A and B are shown apart, each in its own frame.
Chain A
Amino acid sequence: MNISTDPWVWIAAILTLAIFSFLYKENPLYRFAEHLYVGIANGYAITFYWHRVLVPSFFDRVGAASTPIATKIWLIVIAVIGALYFTRFIPKVSWLVRIPIAIVLGYACGASIPRAIDAEIIRQAKATIITRASFAHWQTGLWAVIILLGVIATISYFFFSSERKGVLKPLSYAGIIFIMIGFGASFGYTVMARISLFIGRLQFLLGDWLGLIK
């Protein structure tokens, strides 16, 4: 056993145990650790946004003599529009918040929609097409067929425009099976993820703190 002498390791270990104490029951120690975490996370982010974004991209450029006047005016106009987000706190002029929101939404939608159609619909649909190359190996061929069947069956399950009879009935039933398999896989992976996070904390407590892991 080789217990750490680093005070930061001790602080982290005590806070980890404080968070774990919630498993027994809700308590002030847990709430303290939770609030501390939220506070530190916000403080950390604000500091970086200030020093790494606002200062170099705005204040330094506006203050620099070498920056052309036109650029300075643009920067100030953009900053004023951005500052309109804070009008939410003033009820009389809170409607002004719609201006920066509209600009951000418009920009993001314009940039995203064409690319998302290509990446998320066209490329994904293309991946379900079975070609001769899919059967280069029997396993890849089998998976290609299963994927195609799974896509058709799952989509047919969400086809609500007509009653489920005829071909649609067995297809949508097969769709449920594919969906359930998907949920099962997601659940299994979720269990694995949560256990992994717990292992990570125990690696820290038993290894970095108590020195029990060799």
Chain B
Amino acid sequence: MEKENILIRLQRIDRRWIYLVLWLVVMIPLIFPFKIQPQPTPSVEKLFNYIDTMPENKALAISVDFTPDTRAELQPMVVALLRHAFATQHRVGILTVQVYGLGLAEEAIRQVTAEFNANANTRADSVIYGEDYVFWGWTTPVLTVMLGMGERITNVFPIDYYGNRTETLPIMQHIKNYDDIGILVTIAASAIPRSWINYAQTQFGVNLSCGITAVSAADFYPYVNSGQFIGMLAGMKGAAEYEQLVRERMVKNGMEWVLRNRGTEAMSSQTAAHLAIMAFIVIGNIAFFATRRKRK
């Protein structure tokens, strides 16, 4: 029997070996990371600058429209946006049009408010529920939420996530409808950002931006180009870029706290994995073309 060529064997390699290599390539840089600083892309910078220079009386609305399966990519965006809003003293309203987003939004709120309140020296430094931020929660259907918020948010969410009547919260005196929202950022893993454009923006002219999974990034760039979205965060890399900008802003504001940035933390693994996959593609193609030429 003729001894099999290595190139042919490479094409028949058990895929489990590839999984094992990827596992190691991702795992090792997580334990022993190498220094990598993500450079913000223009679309990320655009969103950051918009929120950074937004008038203080305008609120940031974050719609947590994703499910736990995409948590790794999207949760760091919610955390970074909340940190940015609190660091620049903007009021924040959080909602979700996706029932599974409730727990994720609550987790991010709990984490970021704990960070700020643990470092607060005065009442003015701390973030207070009902005054600085509100978690409207979830309701359905999507269309009613997106259109209803343009008229009166308290009608859409009469009760907040924690069971309070939203009308009784002081923050709601300042956030009545889209007119009081400087920008609404939808963090999603589906086509929901498109619905926000169709209903909230077309009807009420609210400024929008989005944070989306890398899979959907190519679908949403046209909306950034057309100006329908003010910037965009694409995948974990987008989250890492935003984290860097927020970190710089916080340091400038004297908030030199040690905070965990999950997006940035993942970048050395992400880089190593991309290099490995590129190597797999190159080797696979070389093997394919070399064996095809031999057959001819």
Contact = CB atoms under 8 A, between A and B. Distances in A.
A195 B30 contact: no
Interface in A195-214: 195-203, 206-207, 212-213
Nearest to B70: A197
User: Interface size for chain B: under 10, 10 to 19, 20 to 34, or 35 or more residues?
Assistant: 35 or more
A123 B226 contact: yes
Interface string A97-133: 0000000000110011001101110011011000000
Given A52-B138, A199-B269, A200-B72, A193 B213 contact: yes
Contact of A203 (B72, B139, B140, B218): B72
A182 interface: yes
Given A185-B218, A197-B72, A213 B265 contact: yes
B100 A41 contact: yes
Given A44-B100, A119-B228, A199-B236, A190 B202 contact: no
Interface string B102-140: 100000000000000000000000000000000001111
A48 interface: yes
Nearest to A104: B141
A78 B268 CA distance: 54
A124 B26 contact: no
Residue of B139, B143, B218, B234 contacting most chain A CB atoms (<10 Å) = B218
B199 A111 contact: yes
Given A189-B215, A203-B265, A45 B139 contact: no
Interface string B216-235: 01100010011110000011
B59 interface: no
A190 B214 contact: yes
A198 B249 CA distance: 30
Given A126-B226, A189-B218, A192-B237, A202 B269 contact: yes
Nearest to A53: B140
A23 B19 contact: yes
Contacts of A65: none
A127 B227 contact: yes
A127 B222 contact: yes
A87 interface: no
A45 B203 contact: no
Contacts of B35: none
Given A23-B16, A115-B199, A206-B30, A45 B214 contact: no
Consensus secondary structure, chain A interface: helix
A51 to B, nearest CB: 11
Contact of B198 (A45, A119, A195, A200): A119
A197 B73 contact: yes
A8 interface: no
Interface in A13-55: 23-24, 41, 44-45, 48-49, 52-53
A182 B218 contact: yes
Given A119-B228, A127-B222, A192 B198 contact: no
Contact of B137 (A52, A124, A190): A52
Nearest to A200: B72
B75 to A, nearest CB: 8
B27 A197 contact: no
Interface string B59-75: 00000000001111100
B26 A198 contact: yes
Interface stretch (B49-57, B176-184, B270-278): B270-278
Nearest to A45: B99
Most B-side CB within 10 Å, residue of A120, A193, A199: A199
B266 interface: yes
B202 A115 contact: yes
Contact of B30 (A52, A111, A186, A202): A202
B270 A203 contact: no
Interface of B: 16, 19, 22, 26-27, 30-31, 69-73, 99-100, 102, 137-140, 143, 147, 158-159, 194, 197-199, 201-203, 213-215, 217-218, 222, 225-228, 234-237, 262, 265-266, 269-270, 273-274, 277
13 contacts: A23-B16, A52-B137, A53-B139, A56-B159, A116-B198, A124-B222, A189-B234, A189-B235, A191-B274, A195-B270, A196-B266, A212-B31, A213-B265
Given A119-B201, A206-B27, 14 more contacts: A53-B139, A56-B158, A115-B198, A127-B222, A182-B218, A193-B215, A195-B277, A196-B72, A198-B26, A198-B273, A200-B71, A200-B262, A203-B72, A213-B265
